[in-house]
Structure 1
């Protein structure tokens, strides 16, 4: 009985699962936006809040939806990605509306957080051992 349960559990772990994340407006909603007329406020009102906006210059609204496939213990894989980009001119009026798919794109880093390591290539153990004997009683009294 236990062996059958283990077999069923291992088979259930290999089931493919799909997960969607994000929001992209429908084509009917995009038809309500007029290039050269509508503004940031009317776009947000009609389409909703964007997934993100222009990172450095606030030049546009970006609506992103991704579908991931999970298969057992492997890393999730992006199987579909759709991006709707609404760009604005300097006055905040809609300049263009574009739709991209996974086949159109390339990875774009929106944010990068890197901690620098100024240890000169030494590991943590070498740094700790190097400091043994570098303390004096006076340094603790200050």
Structure 2
């Protein structure tokens, strides 16, 4: 009897440890943003795209409309148990280039500068309402015209 009581206490203790371990906040860092000192090395009007990448490292992404902007993105997220992840910090450094290929502007955006973008969902409305596949299949049986099947 004492062995069962001891095994129960061990199981209870293990479940408590697992429960507490699941509630520990986990911090995740994603991406890279150059430090202000590194950004100070970029000379506007002189540095080119290649020299900027050589100085600051490979950008996170580049502009999709051409070679006019590179982006360095960093995000810090806290995961806490089963709760929704919380973004603690977000920084974006955008370096734009003029048409002649030299660095034109360096901008830094933070989480406070962000805006919520409402996405709209456009879905094609289907004409089938509450109809099963079998009902659709059998419903089409009476719609055939013998004249069109025989080529008349």
Tell me, yes or no, whether TM beats 0.5: yes
Query: In the alignment, does 2:137 pair up with 1:132?
Result: yes
Separation in structure 2 between the aligned mates of residue 97 and residue 4 of structure 1, nearest angstrom: 55
Aligned to 1:119: 126
Separation in structure 1 between the aligned mates of residue 102 and residue 117 of structure 2, nearest angstrom: 25
Separation in structure 1 between the aligned mates of residue 128 and residue 45 of structure 2, nearest angstrom: 55
* CA positional deviation for 1:41: 1.2
Tell which deviates more after alignment, 69-78 or 26-35: 26-35
Q: Give the secondary-structure state (helix, strand or coil) at the position aligned to 1:33.
A: coil
* CA positional deviation for 1:108: 6.0
Q: 1:130 to 1:58 in 2, by over 3 A?
A: farther
Where does the alignment leave 5 or more consecutive residues of structure 1 unmatched?
A: 136-142
Deviating beyond 4 angstroms after TM superposition, the runs of 4 or more aligned structure 1 residues are: 114-118
The structure with the largest helix share of the pair is 2
* CA positional deviation for 1:121: 6.5
* CA positional deviation for 1:127: 5.5
Relative to the length of structure 1, the TM-score reads: 0.78
Q: Deviations over 1:43-85 (max 9, x none)?
A: 1111122111123344211100000000001121111011111
Relative to the length of structure 2, the TM-score reads: 0.74
Q: 1:103 to 1:77 in 2, by over 3 A?
A: same
Aligned to 1:55: 64
Please tell me whether Structure 1 or Structure 2 has the larger radius of gyration of its CA atoms. 2
Aligned to 2:36: 27
Instruction: Give the alignment of 1:1-142 within 5 angstroms.
Output: 1-107=10-116, 116-120=123-127, 122=129, 126=131, 128-133=133-138, 134=140
Separation in structure 2 between the aligned mates of residue 14 and residue 43 of structure 1, nearest angstrom: 42
